[in-house]
Homo-oligomer: A and B are copies of this chain.
Amino acid sequence: MTLSALSMQMKTLEQALGVALFDRSARPPRLTPVGRAVVDEAVLLLRHEEKLIEISQPRSDLTGRFRIGFITTAAVRLLPRFLLKTSRDAPRATFEIETGLSADLQNKVLTGQLDAAVITDADGLPDQLESCVLRREPLVFAAHRRLLEGGLAGLMSDAPFFHFMPDTGIGKLIAHAMMSHRRPENAETIVLDNLEATMECVAEGLGFTLLPVPDVSRYRTPDIGTLRAPTSLQRKLVLAAARDGPFARRFVTLLSMFGDIDVRGGIPAEHAARPTRG
């Protein structure tokens, strides 16, 4: 840099700030106290700029602000551990968490409004989505012990059925599971959209319900008994991300933030191939 260019820059900066930064009565020109303060601050500013460049360099680990969706169940059960793990293992990444229904979240991942989501995989996901099963949850019937005396057949014929959110992913899975059981024509079905309320009603002996094991366990009271659903149908909690999205090459990294993965699920080949201890 030429001396004259430097001189011009000094002048320009002084004019821009409207302050004398240099004392020209001395040679070489000296910084004024304000000038020294500006230098101090400018040094910090440049450090800050380096930091910006640093964080902008993508690495093998997660960097950036990601938007992740969680269905309610996952938010309650998986989110705390996820946030713990990410704060430890991916300090350069921040997360915006959003909760909603499987279908909505899936749609937002497809449209790029979310980078990834933990959703229920009822019957396959669109091709544009990459996914991996996080948890497999069998369905169980739950009812007051008094109602269970008559066995499964008794429940079906005599008790009202509390159907949790029939329109959603898990609700449809429940409906599917119920289809293999005959119920009388006039059998009563009550629709609820709140898990805790459903279980409260069941605890009061008002009827029975069919839900994934963990949800029943969470709100179970001593009065409630369970009966494993004879079907092999189970809810699959999957992590889904767009194949061409920000997780295209780092899907496994994000996956690892969900801790131990149910290896019976559809884990990506290179991940499943790893030797396991024990």
Contacts and interface: CB of A to CB of B under 8 A. Distances in A.
Interface string A84-114: 0000000011100000000000000001100
Closest 8 CB pairs of A and B: A33-B64, A36-B65, A37-B64, A41-B52, A34-B64, A17-B56, A33-B246, A33-B66
A18 B54 CA distance: 11
Contacts of A64: 32-37
A115 interface: yes
Interface of A: 17-19, 21, 23, 25-26, 30, 32-38, 40-42, 44-45, 48-49, 51-53, 55-58, 63-66, 92-94, 111-112, 115, 244, 246
A49 B13 CA distance: 13
Given A26-B112, A33-B64, A38-B55, 5 more contacts: A25-B244, A32-B64, A37-B92, A38-B56, A41-B56
A63 B45 contact: no
A253 to B, nearest CB: 12
A68 to B, nearest CB: 10
Contact of A18 (B42, B57, B65): B57
A19 to B, nearest CB: 5
B38 A112 contact: no
B36 A45 contact: no
B55 A37 contact: yes
Given A32-B64, A33-B246, A112-B30, A52 B56 contact: no
A56 B37 CA distance: 7
A55 B40 CA distance: 10
Nearest to A53: B17
A19 B58 contact: yes
A257 to B, nearest CB: 14
Q: Which of A17, A64, A115, A244 has the most chain B CB within a 10 Å cutoff?
A: A64
A65 B52 contact: no
B94 A32 contact: no
Nearest to A92: B37
Given A40-B94, A63-B33, A63-B37, A45 B56 contact: no
Contacts of A111: 26
A33 B93 contact: yes
A89 to B, nearest CB: 16
Contacts of A49: 45
Contacts of A63: 33-34, 37
